[in-house]
Structure 1
Amino acid sequence: MTLLVAGAVVVLGASFLGGVTGFGFSLVCAPLLLLAGFGLADVVVINLVIGLVTRLAAAVRLHHSVNRRRSTYLVLGSLPGLLLGFLTRDVIGGDGLKAAAGGVAVAAAAYLMFRPPAPRADLPERVSPLSSGAAGMLGGFLGITTSLNGPPPVILLARQNAEPREFVADLAVYFIFCNALALVLIGLGGGLSLSRVGVLLACWLPGALVGNAVGLTYGSRLPVALFRRLTLGLVMVTGLITVATSVAGS
């Protein structure tokens, strides 16, 4: 019961941050649930399911703000990453993957935070198929193996100075498709056990929806500069936590 309540608090808080930033749910929830004693396989499934459901709500609310070209490249890029992660997730150690993902996220976020790109408000935004596809592929690989599929597309969007509503909307589309496909592949591989995670999802999902709704309301009101610092700071902090929990568990 103590673990159930502690997990509910973690999910509620992580969902609020996810609503504000568009991506923070799994980054916050995964390391904290692992620290609480839940297994990696269950944490991955829980994060993917809750992330999928809460991002559906965000996509419906912000569908007019979606950059269709960029979100399409992100989704298409995730396909080979998901497949590669599915084929190798039993071979590569989970702690090593988490540590590598956290380290890369911290380094990239620190670079963007302390050496931000020059403003280009006078030029139309350029969406590169190569960089968007690469971010989607890396995110897909990390998503099916660790549920930490946020940092690569987040860093891409921060690098391109996406406006906050577009930032959240594009990530919502990406997470919906990436999480859904990851769950399908995990199910095909026999990794879905409703007897273990079904009760947890039933208890935690209502709180996740409430936290996400409140976060969406406040996130759309943040100034662009504050939003950028918040998202990159969150990537750095949770990346460090991920590395720490990986080292402690190895």
Structure 2
Amino acid sequence: MEQLAIGAVALFVASTIGGMTGFAASLVSTPALLFLGFGVPEVVVVNLTATLVTRIGVLIRLRGQVDRRRVLLLAAGSVPGAVAGVAVLGRLDEQALRIGTGVVVTIAGLVLLLGGRRISTRPGTPATAATGLLGGFLSTTTSLNGPPVAVLLDRCRLTPTAFVADFAGYALVTNAVSLALLGAQHRIPAGVLWPVLPVLVVAALVGNRLGGLLTSRVPAATFATIVKLLVIASGIATILS
């Protein structure tokens, strides 16, 4: 019970940050849950479910801000990526996969922080679909499907509200597909379904609501910097976890 209680606090904090930035909840919660002793498969299911549930309300609230074409491209690309991720599960060493993901995430964050805004061209259709593909693969293997999409949305120079809205649309489809694929392949641990999942999801909902109230109060420049620093920090934390 102590592990579950501390895990709920970790999900609350992570979801508060995720509610404010739109994407970082899994990045913050993953190292914390792994440190607490939760297994990788359990962490993946918890993160995918918590993000899915919290993004529903966000998408309803911000549906008028969603770029439907961009979200459809990201979501369409994520489906084959998620299928590929499920196909390689069990064939890849979990530690190597986690470290490799952390390295890629850290590099992406550094590129954003040091020179991302110098890129004059916005991502086109191929880049958007490819980003969705990578996000889908990371979704079913590690649940860390946020960084690639965050990098792409940052290049689109969106307002904080539009950023959160587009990511919510992408995450809703990608996470639902990922959970369905994992369930079909019997890769959802039975032990995580009760009482772990309900408790952690409720904590995520409360934290997300609090973070959502802060989104409109964060200046755009500050928001962009927070996104980049969170990407870097999550990459390093994933490597060390």
Give the alignment of 1:76-155 within 5 angstroms.
Answer: 76-118=76-118, 126-155=122-151
Over the matched positions of the two proteins, sequence identity in percent amounts to 39
1:185 is aligned, of 158, 161, 181, to 181
Alignment of 1:23-102 (within 5 A): 23-102=23-102
In the other structure, the counterpart of 1:210 is 206
1:126 Cα deviation from its structure 2 partner: 4.8
Partner of 1:248: none
Contact 2:17 2:208 in 1 (8 A): yes
Conserved 8 A contact 1:113-1:229: yes
Of 149, 154, 157, which residue of structure 2 is paired with 1:158? Answer: 154
Structure 1 unaligned runs (5+)?
246-250
**Do residues 167 (structure 1) and 168 (structure 2) align?**
no
Per-residue CA deviation, residues 42-79 of structure 1 (Å, 9 max, x unaligned), is: 11111111110001111111111101111111001101
TM-score by length of 2: 0.96
Alpha-carbon separation, structure 2, partners of 1:64 and 1:165: 10
Q: TM-score, normalization: structure 1?
A: 0.92
Which runs of structure 1 show a deviation greater than 6 angstroms over 4 or more consecutive aligned residues? none
Change (3 A) 1:108 1:127: closer
2:117 maps to amino acid: P
Does the 8 Å contact 1:42/1:197 carry over to 2? no
CA distance in 2, matches of 1:9, 1:35: 13
Structure-1 separation of matches of 2:216 and 2:203: 20
Does structure 1 conserve the Cα–Cα contact (< 8 Å) formed by 2:75 and 2:132? yes
- What's the counterpart of residue 200 of structure 1? 196
What does the per-residue CA deviation read over 1:2-47, in whole Å, with 9 as the maximum and x for residues that have no partner?
1011101000001101100100111011111011100001111111
Alignment equivalent of 2:215, drawn from 212, 219, 238: 219
**Amino acid corresponding to residue 13 of structure 1 in structure 2:** V
Q: Structure 2: which 5+ runs fail to align? A: none
Q: Partner letter of residue 107 of structure 2? A: A
Structure 1 residue identity aligned to 2:135: G
Contact 2:26 2:143 in 1 (8 A): yes
Q: What is the Cα deviation at residue 102 of structure 1? A: 1.2
Cα RMSD of the aligned pairs, angstroms, is 1.5
How far apart are 1:96 and its partner, in Å?
Answer: 1.4
